[in-house]
């Protein structure tokens, strides 16, 4: 029964979001805050593993499912990822006449803005769990600044930040 509940949680998250990490607030609320099936640290690790792999942006849900219930959880998460796309394909033909109406466009904009606000609130909570030292927060800000201000490849910034943190944590015995 737990696998069916996990499938339902993931399905709710994928049906109520548009892309990428926008499913994270609902997933965190259900799995970390409400049911205590995983911790914020587990969620951060699962997102890191899922986002490190090639493929769709929401594939991190499979990693979270595996973290919660092993392979049955990973399969439940995968099924919840592919089901909304099938539903959208079925509904797309019926919604096509409304796509150019201003009220329809405004409703979509509102949903996107609301999900971004919800995602930002979750991001703050996950950052609090991830930044266990002030140097990690500083390193993240510097990495973001490098990403935004230079043409350095993301991979080099990540490798540099990782190497810097390993060196600092070994020298300071963190």
- Per-residue pLDDT tens over the stretch 50-108: 777 777 777 888 889 998 999 999 999 999 888 877 777 777 777 777 778 888 888 87
How is residue 33 annotated by DSSP?
A: I
CB-CB contact of 100 with 30 (8 Å): no
pLDDT surpasses 80 at 111: no
Higher pLDDT residue, 142 or 132?
142
Output the pLDDT for position 3. Answer: 92
Output the pLDDT for position 26. Answer: 86
CB-CB contact of 64 with 54 (8 Å): no
Output the pLDDT for position 72. Answer: 94
Output the pLDDT for position 18. Answer: 63
pLDDT surpasses 90 at 132: no
- Spacing of C-alpha 33 from chain mean position: 16
Mean pLDDT, rounded, for 5-20? 82
Task: Please give the model's pTM, rounded to 2 decimal places.
Answer: 0.59
Output the pLDDT for position 9. Answer: 92
Q: Apex CA 89: angle with CA 60 and CA 51, to 5°?
A: 10
- Ramachandran angles phi, psi of 17, nearest 5°: -135, 170
Which of 123, 135, 118 lies closest to 172, judged by CA? Answer: 135
What is the pLDDT of the chain when averaged over all its residues? 84
pLDDT surpasses 80 at 113: yes
Residue % of the chain over a pLDDT of 90: 22
* Ranges 5-19, 109-123, 133-147: which has the least confidence: 109-123
pLDDT surpasses 80 at 46: yes
CB-CB contact of 144 with 127 (8 Å): no
């Amino acid at each position: 029964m737990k696998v069916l509940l996990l499938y339902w949680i993931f399905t709710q998250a994928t049906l109520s979001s548009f892309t990428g990490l926008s499913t994270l607030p609902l997933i965190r609320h259900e799995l970390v805050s409400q049911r205590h099936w995983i911790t914020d640290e587990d969620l951060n690790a699962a997102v890191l593993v899922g986002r490190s792999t090639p493929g769709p942006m929401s594939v991190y849900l499979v990693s979270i499912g595996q973290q919660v219930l092993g392979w049955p959880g990973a399969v439940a998460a995968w099924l919840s990822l592919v089901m909304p796309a099938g539903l959208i394909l079925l509904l797309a033909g019926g919604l096509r006449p409304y796509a150019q109406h201003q009220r329809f466009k405004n409703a979509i904009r509102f949903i996107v803005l609301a999900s971004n606000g919800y995602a930002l609130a979750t991001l703050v909570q996950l950052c609090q769990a991830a930044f266990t030292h002030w140097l990690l927060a500083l390193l993240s800000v510097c990495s973001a600044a490098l990403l935004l201000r230079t043409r350095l490849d993301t991979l080099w910034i990540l490798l540099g930040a990782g190497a810097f943190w390993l060196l600092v944590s070994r020298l300071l015995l963190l």
